[in-house]
Amino acid sequence: MAGLMSGFGCFTHAVVRAVPQSLARDALRSGGLEVDLLKVQEEYEEYVSVLKHRLGLEVLELPADEALPDCVFVEDAAVVCGDTALVSRPGAQSRRREAVKAALTELGLNIVEMTDESATLDGGDVLFTGREFFVGLSKRTNQRGAEILADAFKDYAVSTVPVQDALHLKSFCSMAGPGLIAIGSSEAAQKALKVFEKLKDHMLIPVTNQEKAKVDGGLTCCSVLINMKKNI
């Protein structure tokens, strides 16, 4: 880390996890739609291929664990910024064991563990703009979790955004570029938008979601992005 903000949006590695068979039946969801497992597999492979070949990232693929149907959504398991990784404590009980700690340790990151049992945090609720963090307070992430994140990443300001009618903060928004947040047009998004509007200089663009939305998955859910540029 030659600087706090050098290369925001630039990453060198990606940690992903294979799709378990149990996803189709047991993955947590809000809707009741049927899931085509084959299609999920296809999407996943395409996704990894883009990361590897189009974006040139080094992809670390973790094996699926049938006991953890949501394990493909590795983003929720950890928050990585700079060379520190916060191994989070997902809000959903069934996801508590989705540890990616070993893989992150292997990559040489400083590991911070969220051991406080009153804290919950899903990585999907954490939006890093390059300058600060926004933590969505949702059904999966609480205030205490946000505080622990603030402690782990002392360099940055951490602000909270209330998230209603959506699973995660990043279910309806994401970074689209430096200083640019893309935000959805749903009601939940609009509510959160008001909070974002209080902040200066963030541009907001509406986008749409995809198949994984059926199991409340978004684009960012499927990877943990890491910048491994070793200036340190």
Partner 1 sequence: MLLSSNQPLIPQVCHTLTLTLTTSAHCLPVSNRPIMNWRFRATLQEYFTYQPKITLLSSFTHHYSQYLFFQVCDHLNLLEKDYFGLSFKDNTEQSCWLDPTKDIKRQIRNSQWQFVFSVKFYPPDPSQLTEDITRYLLCLQLRQDIASGRLPCSFVTHALLGSYTLQAELGDHDPEEHRLDYISDFQFAPNQTKELEEKVVELHKSHRGMTPAQADTQFLENAKKLSMYGVDLHHAKDSEGVDIMLGVCANGLLIYKDRLRINRFAWPKILKISYKRSNFYIKIRPGEAEQFESTVGFKLPNHRAAKRVWKVCVEHHTFFRLVSTEQPTKTKFLTLGSKFRYSGRTQAQTRQASSLIDRPTPYFQRTSSKRISRSLDGGIALHLLCLCVTGTLGLVSNGSMSSALLNETSLYEIPVHRLSLCGCSKLRVQGENIYVRHSNLMLEDLDKTQEDVLKHQASISELKRSFMEATPEPRPSQWDKRLTGSPATSLRLQAHGVRVLVLGIRTPPQTLRMPLSLCSAEKLVYSGCFLLHGSFKCGCVLSLSCSLARYFFKRALKCSETKSCQAAHNFDMASPTLTKTVGINAESRSCVAVRVLRLDGNGDGEPGVLMTAQTITSESLCTTTTTHITKTLKGGLSETRIEKRIVITGDSDIDHDQALAQAIKEAKEQHPDMSVTRVVVHKETELAEDED
Residues identified as active-site: 168, 221
Binding mask 121-150 for partner 1 (x = CB under 8 A): ----------xx--x-------x--xx--x
Structure tokens at 44: 């996943």
Binding mask 2-21 for partner 1 (x = CB under 8 A): -xxx----------------
Whether residue 193 contacts residue 46, with contact meaning beta carbons closer than 8 Å, is answered with no
Q: Least distance from C-beta 193 to partner 1, angstroms?
A: 10
Binding mask 14-53 for partner 1 (x = CB under 8 A): ----------------------------------------
DSSP code of residue 70: T
Q: Least distance from C-beta 117 to partner 1, angstroms?
A: 18
Does 197 participate in binding partner 1 (rule CB under 8 A)? yes
Nearer to partner 1, 82 or 217 (CB): 82
Candidate residues 153, 170, 192, 212; the one interacting with partner 1 per rule CB under 8 A: 153
DSSP code of residue 156: S
Spatial separation of the C-alpha atoms in residues 217 and 221, rounded to whole Å: 6
Binding mask 71-110 for partner 1 (x = CB under 8 A): -----------xxx-------------------------x
Q: Least distance from C-beta 121 to partner 1, angstroms?
A: 13
Dihedral over alpha carbons 99, 101, 143, 169 (to 10 degrees): -70
Q: Is 180 helix (H, G, I), strand (E, B) or coil?
A: strand
Residues 199-218 that bind partner 1 (CB under 8 A): 199-200
Q: How many other C-beta atoms lie within 10 A of the C-beta of residue 110?
A: 12
Structure tokens at 173: 């928004």
Of the ranges 35-43, 55-63, 99-107, 193-201, which one interacts with partner 1 (CB under 8 A)?
A: 193-201
Whether residue 20 contacts residue 40, with contact meaning beta carbons closer than 8 Å, is answered with no
Spatial separation of the C-alpha atoms in residues 151 and 172, rounded to whole Å: 26
Buried b (16+ CB within 10 A) or exposed e, 135-146: bbbbebbbebbb
Spatial separation of the C-alpha atoms in residues 224 and 71, rounded to whole Å: 12
Candidate residues 116, 194, 203, 210; the one interacting with partner 1 per rule CB under 8 A: 194
Does 186 participate in binding partner 1 (rule CB under 8 A)? no
Whether residue 167 contacts residue 30, with contact meaning beta carbons closer than 8 Å, is answered with yes
For binding to partner 1 (CB under 8 A), which residues are involved?
Answer: 1, 3-5, 82-84, 110, 131-132, 135, 143, 146-147, 150-151, 153-160, 194, 197-200, 232
